[in-house]
Structure 1
């Protein structure tokens, strides 16, 4: 992830703080050398998962997908998505209502799971099956 001189660290921290205050959890995928590739925030709620990927302050992607999407980093089904600079994308993501673009699901189904470390500072989302 790169920093631009146009966006002060306090602005980056403020954007990340807003995401954290809304319940986003962050993972930091690394390459085979252990170098940070990106920062990924994930929030699972209702029948959807919101993912925000921060590659740089001017290269942010936010995506809303169904809760049962098998690969949240490369989803096959996208309900909503925005790309662009951090402030605009984070603002638009946080303005979404929790159920906006959500697909109706049976009331007994819930999107549960956890992040499981798989070595070298990496983690993988493991969907709960029971």
Structure 2
């Protein structure tokens, strides 16, 4: 497993998000019934896993790695790795994970794609062939 990556505590939210974008994360902005952004969620699907970082506030961040076939990435039933707390250490821990760390070993590699839905929601569609 990779060692912990340290992000400077002086990094702004925008700089941390830029670091995640540079590493391949795509972002969703779930909204409530009034259209207000509830949270910011970064997702990176690779191999047989999905990495998710949810930013509810600078001191309220949750990061997870889960199998690629999870039905709900915001409330997964199986979590392979997780961390929560302040933004810089949590994102640093997430970015320190190697692509193969905590990866389930399936007999085949999963494939699929994210499909954009209504109100900024997205759903993972698994490839069937």
Verify same fold: TM over 0.5: yes
* Structure 2 counterparts to residues 19-38 of structure 1, below 5 A: 19-38=20-39
CA distance in 2, matches of 1:41, 1:115: 15
Question: Could you tell me how far 1:114 is from its partner in structure 2?
Answer: 1.3
Q: Which residue of 2 aligns with 1:4?
A: none
Structure with the larger RCO, 1 or 2 (CA within 8 Å, 6+ apart): 2
Q: Which residue of 2 aligns with 1:82?
A: 83
Q: Which runs of 4+ in 1 moved over 4 A?
A: none
**1:56-103 deviations in whole A, cap 9, x for unaligned?**
000000000000011111000000000000000000000000010001
* Structure 2 counterparts to residues 33-52 of structure 1, below 5 A: 33-52=34-53
Q: Which residue of 1 aligns with 2:113?
A: 113
Number of residue equivalences:
120
CA contact 2:110–2:126 (8 Å) conserved in 1: no
CA distance in 2, matches of 1:114, 1:97: 22
Q: TM-score, normalised by structure 2?
A: 0.87
Gaps of 5+ in 1: 1-6
CA distance in 1, matches of 2:67, 2:35: 30
Q: Which residue of 2 aligns with 1:55?
A: 56
Gaps of 5+ in 2: 1-8
